[in-house]
Structure 1
Amino acid sequence: GISGVYYFGTDASLSAINSVDSLENFTLYPNPNKGNFNIQFSSNSNNNIIVLVHDIRGREIFNKTYSNNGLFNENLQLSNAQSGIYLVTIQDGSRKEVKKIVIE
């Protein structure tokens, strides 16, 4: 009985940690897009923000570090990206968000 309760406790705290570790008010639009899109979220850390874009084969096609002023609002232009599915990774210290985008 005790192990079951303990497991449940661990499970509950894990999901709480995960929700804390996602980015606040994170939006990425438009999606699908033509290689030009906006990323927005709020940050209360002092970490630099790293934005990566990978194609579906795992090749990195974009990598940029931004300074953090509390509200992240950037326009990304992947000028020579071919149409397809891409993964956009945003890192703010230990917080990390991965969004799938479609480039038409």
Structure 2
Amino acid sequence: MQIQAMQQAIWQVVSLIPSGKVATYGQLAKLAGFPGQARAVGRCLSQLPEQSQLPWHRVINAQGRISFPADSAAYREQKQRLLAEGIEIARGRISLRLYGWQP
């Protein structure tokens, strides 16, 4: 039950990230009421249904990087989605100053 409540809270916050902005795993954990649980955000996002409309691709790590391995299909998909929203990726990094979501 606790895991489902956490999952729902995290998914709710992810749904609020606007197009053209990104949020970090830790930021989402804090906003969802689970500070210090950045890894739990990653686990919850990995359990999204395949056809989910949640903007999972707008979630990046605290260094401003995509967390998937650079040679993976998931990395390429996330990068393409971010670029399509106008988010620039320079040397593998996204500027949190420019693109970071501030709710």
Give the alignment's TM-score, normalised by structure 1: 0.26
- Larger % of helix: which? 2
Structure showing greater Rg: 1
Give the alignment's TM-score, normalised by structure 2: 0.26
